[in-house]
Each structure stands twice: as structure tokens, then as C-alpha cells.
Amino acid sequence: MALEKFLKERITDAEVLVKELRKTFAYVSVLGSVSKTKRIISSTRMSSADDIDDECGFVIRMFDGSHYSEYSTDEIRGLDPEQVIASVRLPEMKQPFVKAPLLEEEELVQSFVREDEHPMSDEAIMEQLKAIRTYCEQKDARIINAQATYRKRSVSKIFVSEKKVLDQHYEWINAMLLLSAREGEVIQQHYTVEGEADSR
């Protein structure tokens, strides 16, 4: 999976928006981000597979010669530049702003991709989680709950300004194991987690 299709289709929209807003502001950039998380759990009491923590949005940053303003939105396609300008306009202040310097950039067009080295199906992952959970349960009779969890975070981003067009897509996997054990009236828990860009 490369750059999220939704973001890829918004790069041209971002370039048009930057061009229009540059008529008013000395600097304009658009940062877009889409994040998705797949979670699969196998525990003594339940098993599940779902998508969690999905996020999508854009931040438009502008510099008017003295200070930076930001405008956030869920969608930039069809966004009226005048709406953005009106939203970040500040009333005249009696005291002057502390002036910030203009952000200088160099020309750069670049892409970065880091995908899961060995992607697996949900079914295959669930089978491995069940095997780990069962092994732990059989290891000691005092274990009252064993939970093996898999999480894959997929993130796509674009950054567009007058001089830069950048995009990136990366994936990160966390494997977690939670054990709860009881001895008499005492219950203890142990938790461990590992992470890398490889589902295996």
C-alpha cells in the first residue's frame, strides 16, 4: 500500500490552494494526514478484529509578514480561499505583534515509503495470536487471563508549499502480550510490547 489514495488525489488541490492564498500571504503550506490502525486481539475471554483511531485532516499554515496563522479542515477540495483568509484575519491591535521571520524553503519534490515487510492476513495473524495465548494459558495454572494483541498503524502525509511537494507513507506494527495471574487473593499483571515494520 503506497500513499493513501485520498491524499494523492488532493495534492493538486493543495497546489491550487497554495497559489491562491499566496496572493495574500507571504508564505503558505498545506499539511494533509490520514492515519488508520488495525487491531486484532485474542484473549482468554474474547477475540476481535477492528479498525480504531482513524484520523484524516489538513492544516493550512500562512504567514502575513508578522505572524503565522493556521486553519484546520477535514477537506480542502472546493475550499474557498476567501473563507480561509476571513477565518484567520485578526482585528487591529493597539500593541504591535512580536514579528516572526519568514520561513525560507528550498525547491524539493520527494516521496518516502516504508511498508510492512511481511504483511499477513487477519486470519493468519489471529491464528498466531491464539497460539501465543494458548501457550501462555497452558504454561501456568495461575494465569487467569492471557491477551495477545496486534496493532498496525498506517500513516500517509502530504506537504505542499510554493517550493515543496512531499509525500510519505509508513507502517508500524506493535505486538503486545498481557498476562494476569492469581495466587490466593493476590492478582498480578505482566505486560510486554515490541514494535517494528514487519508483521512476522
The CATH number assigned to the domain holding 130 equals 3.30.2290.10
User: What confidence score (pLDDT) does residue 196 get?
Assistant: 92
Rounded mean pLDDT for each run of 10 residues along the chain, 200 residues in total: 84 97 96 96 95 93 88 96 90 61 90 94 97 95 96 96 96 96 95 91
Q: For the chain, how many structural domains are there in total?
A: 1
User: What confidence score (pLDDT) does residue 91 get?
Assistant: 63
Question: Which residue segment(s) compose the domain that 103 sits in?
Answer: 5-196
User: What confidence score (pLDDT) does residue 172 get?
Assistant: 96
d(CA 29, CA 17): 9
Picking from 98, 184, 182, 171, the residue whose alpha carbon sits closest to that of residue 146 is 182
